């Protein structure tokens, strides 16, 4: 009886939006979904084995997603200064580009994210993070997005949650 009551209470919270009040954008392929989702967590499968060698599927907790956000912000904070400097240099000789800063630096608030968590050969939890700022007419909640070019609107990075580090930041180029 108690278990049934708890299930109804959780269902009520989910339907009313209260269970994810602080993280109302959380979505998983198999579970809770909202139109305002900014990220999705995928289970590793045979089509994603190229991302990591010798991995096992994993899941992510809300705390781990918060840790991902923190590490991703550190990664972008390290990336942006050189891009800002490049923009500032170009702005001196081409003042008309003053409104194009978004094509140089990454503002994480503009991006949707796809997370694929795994356990690596050393037993560490790692996540392949795929970020993109254009999501019209694509089903990004169901399958991971892969594009060529697209400039900084598309980038990927691997994050080791166990070590709290990131590596292999790859920002797409221009055609």
pTM, to two decimals: 0.76
Residue 6, pLDDT score: 37
Q: Per-residue pLDDT averaged across 2-27, rounded?
A: 37
Q: What is the model's pLDDT at position 174?
A: 66
- Confidence band for 151, pLDDT divided at 50, 70 and 90: confident
pLDDT band for position 148 (cuts 50, 70, 90) = confident
The average pLDDT across 51-66 equals 85
Query: What pLDDT is stored for residue 141 in this prediction?
Result: 85
Return left, alpha or beta for 164; rule: phi > 0 is left, psi -120 to 50 is alpha, else beta: left
The angle at the Cα of 21, spanning 77 to 69, to the nearest 5 degrees, equals: 20
- Specify the higher pLDDT residue, 26 or 60: 60
* DSSP-assigned letters across all residues of 84-107: HHHHHHHHHH-GGGGG-GGGTS--
**Inter-residue contact 112 to 38 (CB < 8 Å):** yes
Q: What is the pLDDT, as a whole number, of residue 131?
A: 94
Using pLDDT thresholds of 50, 70 and 90, give the confidence band for residue 76.
Answer: very high
Average pLDDT value for residue range 45-70: 80
Quick: pLDDT tens for 94-144.
Answer: 999 989 999 999 999 999 999 999 999 999 999 999 999 987 777 888 887
């Amino acid at each position: 009886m108690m278990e049934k009551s708890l299930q109804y209470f959780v269902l009520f919270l989910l339907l009313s939006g209260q269970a994810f009040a602080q993280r109302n954008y959380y979505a998983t392929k198999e579970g809770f979904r909202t139109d305002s989702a900014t990220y999705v967590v995928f289970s590793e499968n045979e089509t994603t084995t190229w991302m990591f060698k010798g991995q096992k599927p994993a899941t992510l907790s809300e705390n781990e997603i918060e840790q991902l956000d923190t590490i991703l912000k550190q990664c972008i904070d390290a990336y942006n200064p050189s891009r800002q400097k490049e923009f500032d240099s170009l702005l001196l000789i081409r003042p008309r580009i003053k409104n194009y800063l978004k094509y140089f630096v990454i503002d994480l608030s503009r991006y949707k994210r796809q997370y694929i968590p795994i356990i690596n050969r050393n037993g560490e939890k790692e996540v392949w993070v795929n970020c993109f700022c254009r999501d019209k007419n694509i089903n990004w909640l169901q399958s991971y997005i892969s594009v060529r070019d697209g400039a900084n609107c598309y980038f990927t990075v691997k994050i080791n949650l166990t070590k709290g580090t990131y590596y292999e930041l790859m920002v797409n180029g221009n055609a």
